[in-house]
Amino acid sequence: MLLKLIKHELDVKYVPGKYMYIADALSRAYPDKVDRDAQPLEQLKYRVHSLDEIGLLPMSKARIVEAIRATRADVVLQTLILTCKNGWPKHRWGAPEQIRQYWHLRDEIHEIDGLVFLGEKLIVPSQMRADMLNKIHESHLGMEKCKARARSIMY
């Protein structure tokens, strides 16, 4: 968590509970009855304090739709999505061979609206990688800045 927060300048202050109106309202607004038949994955769609990662991507809507289509067509990413949803095996050798390269990152990988993310970074589908590489170099910011920009938004 520290490494993820290092890019932000935080100013942490103590606020008494009686002045934390949002937290107080959320803690008191629990549902009267819990739907026990609902799927756990459906319940996880509603996350408190989560970022809309797709909305934050520096991509046009047309490019996002293209990325979703490419992700659907990418066998490796589809296997990765299924493995994340169904749970990773206990050992690396138990994972499908094409996604073993993601084994050490398995706790950070998730899927939102058809796109696969590693933390906040988009995992680029294989058929879009060459195009994304060209887009990175279009800015002409220099080698180091291009690499830094690419590392900050995609994997």
pLDDT tens-place string over residues 98-123: 999 999 998 889 888 889 988 888 89
Q: For residue 144, what are the domain limits?
A: 53-153
Residue 83 domain flag: yes
pTM over 0.75: no
- N- to C-terminal Cα separation, the chain: 19
Residue 113 domain flag: yes
Contact 111, 129 (CB under 8 A): no
Cα distances (Å, whole numbers) of residue 134 to 12, 17, 137? 41, 51, 5
Question: Which two structure tokens, joined as six digits, stand for 25?
Answer: 């309202």
How many domains in the chain?
A: 1
Residue 45 domain flag: no
Residue 104 domain flag: yes
Residue 107 domain flag: yes
Residue 92 domain flag: yes
Residue 11 domain flag: no
pLDDT surpassing 90 at residue 69: yes
Residue 4 domain flag: no
**Of 80 and 31, more confident:** 80
Q: Which residues of 5-27 are buried (b: 16+ CB within 10 A; e: fewer)?
A: eeeeeeeeeeeeeeeeeeeeeee
